[in-house]
Amino acid sequence: YALQGSRWRVKALTYKISKYPKRLKRSDVDTEVAKAFSVWSEFTDLTFTAKASGPVHIEIKFVESEHGDGDAFDGVGGTLAHAFFPVFGGDAHFDDAELWTVNSPRGTNLFQVAAHEFGHSLGLSHSDVRSALMAPFYRGYEPVFKLDTDDVLAIQALYGKKSTQSGNGLNPTSGGASPRTTTRPAFAPPRAPRDDMICKDPKIDALFNSAEGQTYALKGNKYYRLTENSVAEGYPKLISEGWPGLPGDIDAAFTYKNGKTYFFKGTKYWRYNGRQMDGDYPKEISEGFTGIPDHLDAAMVWGGNGKIYFYKGSKFWRFDPLKRPPVKSSYPKPISNWEGLPNSIDAALQYTNGYTYFFKGDKYYRFNDRTFAVDAADPPFPRPSGHWWFGCK
Amino acid sequence: APVSTTTQAEIYLSQFGYLPASARNPANGGLLDASTWIKAVQDFQSFAGLNVTGELDDETMQLMSKPRCGVRDKVGYGTDSRSKR
8 Å CB contact between A219 and A200: no
- The pLDDT value recorded for residue A173 is 33
- The pLDDT value recorded for residue A176 is 31
Residue A318 CB: number of other CB atoms within 10 A? 19
Q: Which residues pair with A362 in a beta bridge?
A: none
CB contacts < 8 A, A to B, total 80
Check whether A340 has a pLDDT greater than 70: yes
Q: Based on the number of CB atoms within 10 Å of its own CB, is A181 exposed (0-12), middle (13-18) or buried (19 or more)?
A: buried
Q: What is the spatial distance between Cα A181 and Cα A165, in angstroms, rounded to a whole number? A: 12
Q: What is the spatial distance between Cα A153 and Cα A151, in angstroms, rounded to a whole number? A: 5
DSSP A207: E
pLDDT digits (tens, 9 = 90+) for A90-102: 999 999 999 999 9
Check whether A312 has a pLDDT greater than 80: yes
What DSSP string describes A84-145? --GGGT--EEEETTS-EESS-SSSEEHHHHHHHHHHHHTTB---S-TTSTTSSB-----SS-
Within 310-329 of A, beta carbons closer than 8 Å to B belong to: 322
Best-predicted range by mean pLDDT (A61-65, A232-236, A389-393): A61-65
- The pLDDT value recorded for residue A177 is 32
How much is the average pLDDT of A132-145? 92
Residue type, A206: A
Check whether B76 has a pLDDT greater than 60: no
- The pLDDT value recorded for residue A354 is 67
Scored b (16 or more CB within 10 A) or e, B22-37 reads ebbeeeeeeebeeebb
State the average pLDDT for chain A: 88
Check whether A61 has a pLDDT greater than 80: yes
Give the up-direction half-sphere exposure of residue A317: CA atoms within 13 A in the CB hemisphere: 21
Check whether B80 has a pLDDT greater than 50: no
Contact B84 A91 (CB under 8 A): yes
* Higher-pLDDT residue of A339, A64: A64
**Cβ-proximal residues to A204 (8 Å cutoff; 6+ apart), any chain:** A198, A217, A218, A219, A346, A347, A359, A385
Sign of the torsion formed by the C-alpha atoms of B7, B8, B9 and B15:
positive
Reported ipTM: 0.82
A257 touches chain B (CB under 8 A): no
Q: How far is CA A19 from CA A97, A355, A392, in A?
A: 14, 41, 61
pLDDT digits (tens, 9 = 90+) for A158-204: 999 998 744 333 233 333 333 333 333 333 333 344 547 899 999 99
Mutation pick from A126, A127, A139 vs chain B, by most beta carbons of B within 10 Å, is A126
pLDDT digits (tens, 9 = 90+) for B14-69: 889 898 766 665 555 567 788 889 989 999 998 888 888 899 999 999 999 999 99
In A, which residues are within 8 Å of B1 by CB distance?
A: 77-78
- The pLDDT value recorded for residue B21 is 66
